[in-house]
Amino acid sequence: MTDTPATELPVSDSPARGASVRNTSARGATAAPVGLVGLTVSSAPVPVPRLPRLTEELPRTPLAVRDLLRPALLATAETAVAEAGLSPDEVRNMGCVTASNGATAATGTYIAQVLAGPGPRWLAPECFLYYSPHALTGELSIALDLDGHAVTLTGAAAGVDALGYAALMVRSGRCRSVLVSAAHWPRPATPDDESVPLLTTAAAILGSGGDGDGDGGGSVDSWGGVTGWHPGGNHPAVREGDPAGSTDGPGTDVTAPFAALARWRASRGTRGVELAGGGSRLTVVAGDGT
């Protein structure tokens, strides 16, 4: 993808696993970059839902789940949309790509514990919405009134692939701009583990172009552009016999590429960088708004 040597730099200042970044040259890219005009990454300790010790502590209504993940992801997405300066019409026509590698599993585990213990009478049928990864995409699309193509990606490479797939959606003309979101909320190691994990959410806005001319919509020039996406080991077409397919595990933080992207933007770098995770990779180049 590049014709100059590059040095691999692990993303070691983040609690995330499974993402790396390296400085690279923009030469060798085969497609025009798709502009980045918004980016937000948020992380805070959030306790996972736990089964009450006594049945009396369960709520009187049958819905014994209060989802904490979807509201956090929505708030992050709203911040990224506001940064991009998109009009209501531009937001309505946006596509939506969401990355998750088991972020909803913490809520799903709780639901399973309620079913196995107190029983299904404590759960409403709507509970399944809280542990399906597609619920994240649905929440964003409904709450933000998005009417474009919507896709959910899972697996260790989902963070990088979500950015790359969103760029492909814009480049193909299916969407003028895309909201790309990711969430990571690790489950406790054991049922007795009472530690409070970090809930990390991330969102970026990709729009057509990438040269800062604003043709992706909005009032903000692009500060970077995505190009050179190479799907990796998690893709069924390349998983078999591909050593990249075994890199990173179920706990891989798919928000790590977004965090690396945020650090690169904060450094005001002018050289391109390569983001990698789960066997996938793509290149980010600087835009005129850097």
More confident residue, 290 or 33: 33
> In the structure, what pLDDT confidence band is assigned to residue 109 with cuts at 50, 70 and 90?
confident
CA gap 159, 180 in Å, rounded: 9
Domains of the chain: 8-286 (3.40.47.10)
Segment 39-60 mean pLDDT = 79
Residues 2 and 25 sit within 8 Å (Cβ to Cβ): yes
> 207-251 pLDDT, tens per residue?
953 343 444 455 568 899 999 999 985 554 444 444 333 344 545
| Higher local confidence (pLDDT), 190 or 175 | 175
Nearest to 151 by CA among 97, 95, 93, 91: 97
* Percent over 70 (pLDDT), the chain: 71
Q: What is the mean pLDDT of residues 32-61?
A: 81
Given a cut of 60, is residue 68 above it in pLDDT? yes
Which tops the pLDDT comparison, 41 or 123? 41
Mean pLDDT of 107-118: 80
72/56: higher pLDDT: 72
- Tell me the average pLDDT across 163-188: 93
105 or 89: which leads in pLDDT: 89
- pLDDT grade for 287, boundaries at 50, 70 and 90: confident
Q: If you average pLDDT over residues 178-188, what whole number do you get?
A: 92
Answer whether residue 256 shows pLDDT above 90: yes
State the chain's mean pLDDT as an integer: 77
pLDDT of residue 233: 58
Q: Give the model's pLDDT for residue 27.
A: 39
Going by pLDDT thresholds of 50, 70 and 90, the confidence category of residue 43 is very high
Instruction: Supply the pLDDT for residue 16.
Output: 38
What pLDDT does 57 receive? 60
- What is residue 152's predicted lDDT score, i.e. its pLDDT? 95
Q: Using pLDDT thresholds of 50, 70 and 90, give the confidence band for residue 96.
A: very high
Question: What SS3 string covers the chain?
Answer: CCCCCCCEEECCCCCCCCCEEEEECCCCCCCCCEEEEEEEEEEEECCCCCCCCCHHHCCCCCCCCCCCHHHHHHHHHHHHHHHHCCCHHHHHCCEEEEEECCCCHHHHHHHHHHHHCCCHHHCCHHHHHHCCCHHHHHHHHHHCCCCCCEEEEECCCHHHHHHHHHHHHHHCCCCCEEEEEEEECCCCCCCCCCCCCEEEEEEEEEECCCCCCCCCCCCCCCCEEEEEEECCCCCHHHHCCCHHHHCCCCCCCCCHHHHHHHHHHHCCCCCEEEEEECCEEEEEEECCCC
User: Given a cut of 90, is residue 144 above it in pLDDT?
Assistant: yes
Between 261 and 239, residue with greater pLDDT: 261
Tell me which residue of 126, 110, 107, 129 sits closest to 118, measured CA to CA: 110
Checking if the pLDDT of 198 tops 80, the result is: yes
Contacts of 79 (CB under 8 A, 6+ apart): 40, 42, 203
